[in-house]
């Protein structure tokens, strides 16, 4: 029995160390957080039962060695991991009648900053907890780190470097190839901070949030965590959101964070609780791995049991074929979920999946559906030998210990399918009834070869009506959607072409600049396009290269022959927002959604962006007093935060459909 336990411990140790190395040193994931935590807890239990701890056990080692490309440096004091719990009552009992400070557990890259004589002298990553990587030049490009501080003595502060979800989504939106997009903010942040070229770091909008004053010998700070964080704020640091709690109110404060996490723009994977009395916390000492002055609280994942119905093999532009689990729908975190990515062949085989298996599913960080466990483990699933799109042979390739399935056909139409999916999307041609699955079928049947073919699908009426899932009504609905999309605008057409980095906003900007004249757009040169605010040379070059390709132009001409493009009449004086830039966040009262307000602003010549910068005219947010990242950024830059009412009043705007009500209101005011 002891031998079996030892073998299991060796396996767990090797598996967990590989996963940690991939996560911390190579910015990739071999398993989910839930799976890692489950295996880690099993190893801890076995070590307690056997009284044996292997030398390379992750329970006594912290992280992995820093990568070789950056200089290494030993930390003045070891950076230990924290003990953790998912039990709220255990969190309250941990206090033992002592007040504590509760804060977000941010999910980024831990950094230690050292200031000397009021200047930033050094920045070092966590590394393996004892030796980190020196990233001082990169830290100097962080968006919110003070380069100089009032305190003149030596100051060492620990915090988390992060990239917000909004910045992450903005950067991914600029990458046309879906497979080249970044996987999550944490990995993007880690790779950004550890760049050899700090120009790359500078473009990633990395932010730093302080959470611990490590040392400041000459500072007049008390032994209070709250006061130390206040001192750091006085020095110009942004600190992690934190509150003082006791046994009486800690559960209410946990509930407060729980309600906030879904819409929180900064990646977080839990909370941290630290004794308010610094001396008391330090007097408790530490274990081999954990300090006793703090504990981490991780959100308990809501698990649901369901049945695996099928595995959908999703082909991409690069030939990578990803498995997606389709299961009986379940309610998770307030929404109905019926599918989850299995990511790659390695994870699929590790789960030992088979159709009909009973599985448990959860939402990682309350957002992304994942399979937690396979309760049946039939391991009967067959990996397809043919590409689901082109039917050509597939092969399994192994890269960095991860196996993935690829199509071997260089001419696989998967790339076209993704292009067609963009073409029919809401902000492009907005064609109802053409899902990606339906497009795949049409491409596979040879009904669609290029964009204009979509408008000639009526030639295949009989074949479509006989398709599974179709019939006369479905066919007619599809034709109605296609014909409705014939009446469109030039910005929609330009965006639908899928030109690299030409999003909906840029398409509108280009069309306005060239008076909605397609011939002018076709003949535009890089120099002219680059001069347009918000375009730049990279986007201009991609646009010109597309328009200089004869095949692209012929396909575009055939598409335009199927469309009736509306040329907007720009009334004199209507472009009142020309040169103005707005950011919209939160829910709206006078508009059906943010897109309606965005359309109104763009019709008036303005621009709507996703993040607040020094060029932003105003942030529109009905919660003007909130402490969200956008509001904080606006206050930092002196950008006005306007409620919806403030915005409508300031710019004398009446939303469509509300003209009569506003006129009546104005009439009453005049009468008064």
- The 3-state DSSP composition of the chain as helix, strand, coil percent (nearest 5) reads 40, 20, 40
Task: Spell out the alpha helix ranges (H) of 549-607.
Answer: 550-560, 594-603
Residue with tokens 């942030």: 619
Give the pair of three-digit tokens for residue 327. Answer: 């299961």
For 583, phi and psi rounded to 5 degrees?
-125, 135
Q: Is 523 helix (H, G, I), strand (E, B) or coil?
A: coil
Q: Is 128 helix (H, G, I), strand (E, B) or coil?
A: coil
Closest CA to 376 of 362, 361, 355: 355
For 312, phi and psi rounded to 5 degrees?
-95, 130
Closest CA to 577 of 600, 559, 594: 600
Closest CA to 113 of 274, 222, 252, 235: 235
Give the pair of three-digit tokens for residue 472. Answer: 């006369």
| Whole-number Å distance between alpha carbons of 233 and 667 | 50
Q: Is 463 helix (H, G, I), strand (E, B) or coil?
A: helix
Closest CA to 287 of 497, 62, 464, 68: 62
For residue 12, what are the contacts with CB-CB under 8 A and spacing of at least 6? 39, 42, 43, 46
CA distances from 583 to 164, 171, 570, 611 (A): 16, 16, 24, 6
- The H-or-E segment that residue 335 falls in is strand 335-341
Calculate ∠ Cα 545-548-550, nearest 5°: 125
- The H-or-E segment that residue 327 falls in is strand 320-332
Q: Are strands 618-620 and 641-642 parallel, antiparallel or unpaired?
A: parallel
Whether 441 is catalytic is no
CA 266, chain centre distance (Å): 10
The residue from 21, 45, 84, 105 that is catalytic is 105
Q: How many other CB atoms sit within 10 Å of the CB of residue 77?
A: 11
| Whole-number Å distance between alpha carbons of 139 and 142 | 5
- Per the CB < 8 A criterion, the answer to whether 118 and 133 are in contact is no
Active-site annotation, residues: 105
């Amino acid at each position: 029995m002891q031998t079996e336990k030892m073998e299991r411990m060796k396996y767990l140790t090797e598996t967990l160390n590989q996963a940690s190395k991939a996560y911390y040193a190579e910015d990739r994931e071999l398993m989910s957080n839930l799976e890692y935590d489950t295996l880690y807890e099993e190893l801890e239990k076995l070590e307690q039962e056997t009284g044996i701890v292997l030398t390379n056990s992750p329970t006594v080692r912290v992280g992995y060695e820093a990568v070789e490309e950056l200089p290494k440096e030993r930390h003045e004091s070891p950076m230990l991991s924290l003990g953790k719990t998912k039990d709220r009552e255990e969190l309250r009992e941990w206090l033992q009648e002592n007040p504590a400070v509760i804060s977000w557990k941010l999910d980024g890259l831990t950094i230690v900053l050292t200031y000397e004589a009021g200047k930033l002298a050094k920045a070092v990553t966590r590394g393996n907890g004892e030796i980190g990587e020196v990233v001082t030049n990169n830290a100097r490009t962080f968006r919110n780190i003070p380069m100089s501080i009032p305190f003149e003595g030596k100051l060492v502060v620990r915090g988390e470097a992060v990239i917000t979800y909004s910045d992450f989504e903005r950067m991914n939106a600029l990458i046309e190839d879906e497979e080249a997009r970044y996987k999550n903010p944490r990995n993007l942040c880690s790779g950004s901070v550890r760049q050899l070229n700090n120009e790359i770091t500078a473009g990633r909008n990395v932010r730093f949030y302080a959470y611990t004053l490590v040392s400041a010998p000459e500072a007049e700070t008390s032994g209070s965590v709250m006061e130390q964080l206040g001192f750091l704020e006085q020095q110009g640091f942004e600190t992690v959101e934190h509150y003082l709690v006791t046994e009486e109110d800690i559960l209410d404060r946990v509930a407060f964070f729980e309600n906030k996490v879904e819409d929180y723009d900064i990646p977080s994977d839990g909370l941290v609780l630290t004794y308010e009395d610094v001396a008391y916390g330090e007097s408790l000492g530490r274990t081999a791995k954990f300090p006793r002055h703090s504990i981490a609280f991780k959100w308990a994942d809501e698990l649901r049991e369901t049945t695996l119905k099928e595995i959908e093999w999703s082909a991409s532009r690069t030939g990578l074929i990803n498995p997606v689990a389709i299961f009986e729908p379940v309610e998770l975190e307030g929404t109905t979920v019926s599918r989850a990515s299995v990511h790659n062949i390695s994870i699929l085989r590790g789960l030992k999946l088979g159709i009909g298996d009973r599985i448990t599913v959860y939402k990682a960080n309350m957002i992304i559906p994942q399979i937690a466990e396979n309760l049946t483990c039939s391991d009967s699933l067959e990996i397809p030998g043919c590409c689901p799109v082109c039917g050509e042979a597939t092969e399994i390739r192994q890269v960095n210990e991860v196996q993935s399935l690829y199509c071997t056909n260089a001419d696989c139409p998967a790339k076209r399918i993704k292009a067609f999916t963009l073409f029919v999307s809401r902000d492009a041609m907005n064609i109802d009834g053409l899902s990606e699955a339906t497009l795949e079928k049409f491409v596979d049947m040879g009904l669609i070869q290029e964009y204009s073919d979509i408008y000639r699908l009526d030639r295949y009426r009989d074949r479509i009506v006989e398709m599974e899932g179709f019939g006369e009504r479905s066919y007619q609905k599809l034709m109605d959607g296609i014909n409705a999309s014939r009446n469109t605008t030039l910005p929609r057409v330009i965006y639908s072409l899928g030109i690299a980095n030409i999003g909906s906003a840029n398409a509108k900007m280009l069309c306005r600049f060239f008076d909605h004249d397609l011939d002018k757009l076709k003949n535009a040169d890089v120099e002219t396009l680059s001069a347009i605010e918000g375009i730049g040379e990279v986007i201009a070059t991609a646009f010109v290269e597309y328009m200089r390709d004869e095949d692209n132009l012929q396909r575009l001409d055939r598409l335009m022959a199927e469309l009736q493009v509306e040329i907007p009449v720009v009334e004199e004086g209507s472009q009142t927002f020309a040169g103005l830039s707005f950011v919209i966040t939160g829910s709206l009262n006078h508009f059906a959604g943010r897109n309606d307000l965005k359309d109104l602003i763009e019709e008036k010549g303005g621009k709507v962006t996703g993040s607040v910068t020094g060029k932003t005219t105003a942030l529109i947010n009905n919660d003007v007093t909130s402490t969200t990242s956008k509001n904080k950024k606006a206050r930092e830059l002196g950008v006005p935060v306007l409620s919806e009412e403030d915005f409508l009043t300031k710019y004398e705007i009446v939303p469509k459909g509300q003209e009569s009500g506003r006129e009546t209101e104005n009439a009453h005011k005049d009468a008064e």
